[in-house]
Amino acid sequence: PPRPRPRLDAYVTGVRDGDRAMLARAITLIESRQRRDRAAAAKLLQRLLPHTGGAYRIGLTGSPGAGKSTTIDQLGTNLTARGHRVAVLAVDPTSQRTGGSILGDKTRMARLAADDQAFIRPSPSAGTLGGVTRTTRETMLLCEAAGFDVIIVETVGVGQSEVAVANMVDFFLVLLLPGAGDDLQGLKKGVLELADMIAVNKADGDNVDRARRTANDYRNALQILTPPSPNWRAPVITISGLQNIGLDALWHQIESYHDTMTKSGEWQEKRREQAVAWMHDLIEARLRQALTDDPAIAEKLKGLEARVRAGELVPSLAAEEIASALGLSALATGTAEGER
């Protein structure tokens, strides 16, 4: 029989005390889609909110094979050795992870998994990117309330997951392989412009020169692109996660970013903006939900979409039909003019 769910106070106390079992159960509660759990999760988060915000939130992306796990395992181990408490969250909307996946994540980051100052949590086993994003954001808050002061959110770069991760963290790191340009690296359009730093990984052995050339190419490209902030140009460095080369320099840059951004006030403002944008994302997701909740409207939408696609119907007329099916006011002043 399932264990009875702890009372709200037990969750709050357990998470605040850094009780790992309670933290894990709280995350499971956050991940639940049951109406009753969702209401409890919202209350829990609201109770814990004053104790959140204390971690450095770091996003990390890179194509498969770029060495993300090895790098996080080594970097995380370096950080716990210096007294940090490190949580690693993985965002991967495509994986069909189950209980076994936790083992998978713990295997690929073996040292960190055995480190009692670290906490590794894979993404939920299913769900849309929006759902995965919500649970990852909320898990981040729980980890902060539990006293973790470095949170690394890893993404494999599926769909729009890099954008989603970049929008929930303070610092976004892109990991590259020595070699050619973005398309050959499997990087998606625009990811480079999200980067607060680029690290060319596997700069060890025979690869060192190639990694330096790649870093130089990207450094030149970034000189032309608009920087993440007027006060920060994304550095391009070479590292070896496997050999623990350059990871101190990497962390130094991450700390330096924090100093620069807090001094300018951008750090705090970015967090406030992220929270508000998150609220709007959730509201828009709920509004879109209205389109699919009603099977008749979903069906109508599908038909209209096909006619628009075929060039038989003007998009504005199609939009009007959906609006009136939803009971929104018909063609009126200012309609279809709204833009956030």
**Contacts with a second copy in 155-194 (CB under 8 A)?**
181-183, 187-190, 192-193
Does the footprint of a second copy cover residue 114 (CB under 8 A)?
Answer: no
Structure tokens at 216: 């130089």
Does the footprint of a second copy cover residue 129 (CB under 8 A)?
Answer: yes
Among 147, 244, 282, 294, binds a second copy (CB under 8 A): 282
Give 21 or 310: the residue with its C-beta nearer to a second copy: 310
**Pattern 44-73, binding to a second copy, x per CB under 8 A?**
-xx--x---x--------------------
Shortest distance, position 234 Cβ to a second copy, whole Å: 12
Give 37 or 149: the residue with its C-beta nearer to a second copy: 37
Identify whether the C-beta of residue 73 lies closer than 8 Å to the C-beta of residue 106.
no
Measured CA to CA, the distance from residue 79 to residue 88 in angstroms comes to 12
Among 28, 98, 107, 220, binds a second copy (CB under 8 A): 220
Could you count the other beta carbons within 10 Å of the beta carbon of residue 95?
Answer: 18
Give 65 or 181: the residue with its C-beta nearer to a second copy: 181
Structure tokens at 166: 């970049």
Give 6 or 130: the residue with its C-beta nearer to a second copy: 130
Measured CA to CA, the distance from residue 172 to residue 152 in angstroms comes to 10
Identify whether the C-beta of residue 255 lies closer than 8 Å to the C-beta of residue 150.
no
Q: In degrees rounded to 5, what are phi and psi of residue 238? A: -110, 140
Does the footprint of a second copy cover residue 302 (CB under 8 A)?
Answer: no
Which residues inside 232-271 make contact with a second copy, applying CB under 8 A? Answer: none
Give 206 or 339: the residue with its C-beta nearer to a second copy: 339
Shortest distance, position 33 Cβ to a second copy, whole Å: 5
Structure tokens at 310: 């075929």
Does the footprint of a second copy cover residue 10 (CB under 8 A)?
Answer: no
Measured CA to CA, the distance from residue 177 to residue 185 in angstroms comes to 7
Measured CA to CA, the distance from residue 242 to residue 224 in angstroms comes to 31
Measured CA to CA, the distance from residue 166 to residue 183 in angstroms comes to 20
Measured CA to CA, the distance from residue 263 to residue 283 in angstroms comes to 33
> Where does this chain touch a second copy (CB under 8 A) — which range of 12-20, 34-42, 105-113, 247-255?
34-42
Quickly tell me which residue has 């990497």 as its tokens. Answer: 250
Which residues inside 133-152 make contact with a second copy, applying CB under 8 A? Answer: 134, 138, 141
